[in-house]
Amino acid sequence: MSDQALPLAPGALAPRSRAAARADRLRALTAWALSAPAVILMALLLIGPVIGVMALSLTDYQLGASTLSYIGLDNYAEMFGDRVFHTALINTLLYVAVVVPGSVFLGLGIALLIESGTSGRALYRAIYFLPVMATLIAMAIVWEFMLHPQFGLINLALGRIGIPAQNWLTDGDLALWVLAAIGIWQAVGFNMVLFMAGLVSIPRFLYDAAEMDGVPGAWARFRLVTWPMLGPVTLFVVVITSIRSFQVFDTVHVLTKGGPNKATEVLLYTMYAEGFEFFRSGYAAAVTVVFLAFVLALTLVKIGVLDRKVHYS
């Protein structure tokens, strides 16, 4: 009898193929069933409200009114022609442009200094992380007393060295920059912790290899080893800090109320004022939609530009 395998009868593989297809469908259904609670929750808590806000922005609804009318893009047309909205957008961009690089580079510098030390690391970490744990509204009230033009600690300290007192929160040329400085102070600790986690994860043998290759000095080691290996952490820190900076509201609401003369008006405060002070919910929803679109676009641009320069180990 020949050892050559006999040919299979036509259709012999069909039962096995049908069984495999049924198993694949069962696995797919099981996967959807297991992920269904998370998908439903995301739809209810994230996607649903966004769709609701977009729909509301196309109406003339006012808070407390029993009726509303569809007005199309009239809210957006009014918004883009509104001087207050333009001022709020420019102020928000200036705030982000100051807070993001300031808090990112200061956080990185502090993380490097703490990690290079030999003692007191836990104490310094706790000190710099305290602003992150504190309630921002409570800290804003403390800052209001510190910046008071008559008895504020900052003006008293400046007076000791011959610098005249300043109206930090009522001077239109200073108020936005003061809020940006408070924003940097509040964000530095969070960024420091993220950078310290990134520094700890860098393999030590890379520094040993750099030293064996004759890399001179700490700056060269930072430029050739530390900074490239911190690429993923830096990307995450920049994106998160940008989003948090766009969401500035607490300090503006407590310290300046958008003044003086709209010098510190930002997008989130414009939304709040239009929706809960002037009760123009439809217009506030339109501002919200533009705010969300702007944050999303800026985040995608940052990821697209920075991700090309990130080294993933």
Domain residue spans of the chain: 75-308
3-state secondary structure of 151: coil
Q: Which residues contact 307 (CB under 8 A, 6 or more apart)?
A: 235
**Residue 108: pLDDT over 70:** yes
- Tokens 């006999």, residue located: 6
Confidence of residue 308 (pLDDT cuts 50, 70, 90): low
3-class secondary structure, 280: coil
pTM of the model: 0.84
Q: How confident is the model at residue 189 (pLDDT cuts 50, 70, 90)?
A: very high
Over 60: is that where the pLDDT of 2 sits?
A: no
Q: How far apart are CA 278 and CA 62, in angstroms?
A: 9
Alpha helices in the chain (DSSP H): 14-42, 48-56, 74-80, 83-116, 121-133, 136-146, 153-160, 175-200, 204-212, 217-221, 227-229, 231-246, 250-251, 267-272, 281-306
pLDDT of residue 307: 66
Residue 150 and residue 140: Cα distance in Å, rounded? 18
What is the tens place of the pLDDT at every residue in 253-287?
999 999 889 999 999 999 999 999 999 999 999 99
Residue pLDDT, tens place only, 140-151: 889 999 998 888
- Structural Rg of the chain based on CA atoms: 28
pLDDT given at position 162 = 87
Q: What is the mean pLDDT of residues 51-65?
A: 91
Per-chain mean pLDDT for the chain: 86
pLDDT at 45: 87
Sign of CA dihedral 113, 117, 121, 124: negative
Using CA atoms, how far residue 252 sits from 20, 25, 89, 118, 218, in Å, is 61, 54, 14, 40, 41
Between CA 264 and CA 272, with CA 268 as vertex, the angle to 5 degrees is 100
Outline where 43-82 has alpha helix (H). 48-56, 74-80
DSSP state letters, 197-244: HHHHTS-HHHHHHHHHTT--HHHHHIIIIIHHHTHHHHHHHHHHHHHH
Residues in the chain: 313
Q: Which residue has the tokens 């940052």?
A: 302
Q: Is the pLDDT of residue 94 over 90?
A: yes
pLDDT score recorded for residue 1: 46
Under the banding of pLDDT at 50, 70 and 90, the label for residue 248 is very high
**For residue 203, pLDDT beyond 90:** no
Mean pLDDT of 79-103: 94
pLDDT at 20 (0 to 100)? 83
Domain 75-308: CATH architecture, name and number where available:
Orthogonal Bundle (1.10)
